[in-house]
Amino acid sequence: MWVRRMRRKVTDMGKDDNFLFLIEKIENVVSKALSLAMVIVILVAVCDLGLVLAKQLFAPPYGFLGRTLIEIFGLFLNILIALEILENLTAYLRKHIVQVELVIVTSITAIARKIIILDFEKTSGIDLIGLAIAIFSLAISYWIIRRTTLNS
């Protein structure tokens, strides 16, 4: 008797509507778990930034210049990128679609961070060409997405 019930449940789960419902529930759980993990990452990154700022401001020589300032900018941009990823996740939870424009903006921010913290003395020409191609590709992609969004 219980074997038939179990077989019927397994067969019912194999139907398209039931299976898609299960997949949607799993996607929601995973998205929520990723969102919570991202919040934890952001909070830890903000604490880390606060510690770095306090250490740099109150340690002799007082204040910071040069390379340390660029590293602090990198930490700020890390937090900004994490916030944009969290925005991507929450947008997915709200609308159940991946918003390509948000993904492109996040990618542009990540490349901007890379350029800001880049040590030009240790970077090869091919790396710079690769970054230039990535920036150009993302800029064109963003322009296309914005044009199609505004025209629709």
Q: Per-residue pLDDT tens, the chain, 152 aa: give them.
A: 777 777 777 677 667 777 788 888 888 899 899 999 999 999 999 999 998 888 877 777 665 555 577 788 888 899 999 999 999 888 888 888 788 888 999 999 999 888 888 888 888 989 999 999 999 999 999 999 999 888 76
Per-domain boundaries in the chain: 2-151
Extract the tokens encoding 131. Answer: 């970054």
Extract the tokens encoding 69. Answer: 């300032």
Measure Cα distances from 28 to 25, 35, 95 in Å: 5, 10, 11
